[in-house]
Amino acid sequence: MAVVVSFIAVLVSTFVFVYNRRMSRRDLLLDSHERQLLPENQHGRRVVFQMRETGDLPDALSAEDFRSANHALASMNMLGFLCCRRYVSMRDAIALWGQTVVRVVDAAEKTGFLALRDSQQEGTPVWPYLREFALIARARSHLYLNPLRVKGFRRRPRFQVQAHIPPVSDEE
């Protein structure tokens, strides 16, 4: 009898461990997603995109715009760190942010922002996890951009709302 109770306890403990780990990973991804949506990060990404469109160099940025762009890229580096270390699901992160990360990294490379930051930091390149995440996202984005291929996506809604549209009469 004691063996059966011990076996059940091990099963319950294993289930609780797996469930809590899954919920922790989900919460970490949601928290990272919310951080990417902060106005300061959005402004920083917009600054990088505007630099690419106008052809401006990073040296021409105001101190505030430079700080915002730097902060946005550092924040995306943290998302890349979480993915590369498998703290969050790479598949889910690419589905949410892959296309944006690729566009931002491409824009930062074309404008020279990454080269400037690399020259300011001697030795290793700055934001290695951002660059790695962008490479993986670029290679795998075709798998995740279609929402029908994302795990857990419902093809049909549970409830179908049918609106009643009255017929149009010509008499009015």
113-115-121-123 Cα dihedral, nearest 10 degrees: 150
pLDDT at 133: 96
Q: Measure the CA–CA gap between 98 and 140, rounded to whole angstroms.
A: 9
* Residue 43 lies inside a defined structural domain of this protein: yes
Q: 71: burial class by Cβ within 10 Å (0-12, 13-18, 19+)?
A: middle
Q: Is 68 exposed, middle or buried (0-12, 13-18, 19+ CB in 10 A)?
A: buried
45 falls within a domain: yes
- Asked if residue 96 is part of any domain, the answer here is yes
The tens place of each residue's pLDDT in the chain, 172 residues long, gives 889 889 899 999 998 898 888 898 999 999 999 999 999 999 999 999 999 999 999 999 999 999 999 999 999 999 999 999 999 999 999 989 999 999 999 999 999 999 999 998 888 889 999 999 999 999 986 655 555 555 555 555 555 555 555 555 555 4
pLDDT of residue 122: 82
Query: How far, CA to CA in Å, does 133 sit from each of 103, 148, 156, 157?
Result: 12, 22, 32, 32
Is residue 154 helix, strand or coil? coil
Question: Is 124 part of a structural domain of the chain?
Answer: yes
- 38 domain-assigned: yes
Per-residue pLDDT, 124? 84
Q: Which residues have a Cβ under 8 Å from the Cβ of 18 and sit 6 or more positions away?
A: none
| 19 in a structural domain | no
Residues 6+ apart with CB under 8 A from 33: 96, 97
Q: Is residue 85 part of a domain?
A: yes
Number of domains within the chain: 1
Residue 162 has a pLDDT of 53
141 exposure class (CB count in 10 Å sphere: 0-12, 13-18, 19+): middle
Dist CA 18 CA 52 (whole Å): 45
pLDDT, position 48: 97
Q: Which domain holds residue 90?
A: 28-149
Residue 110 one-letter amino acid: K
Q: Residue 154 has what pLDDT?
A: 53
pLDDT computed for residue 121 by the predictor: 87
SS3 of residue 90 by DSSP: helix
Report pLDDT for 130: 96
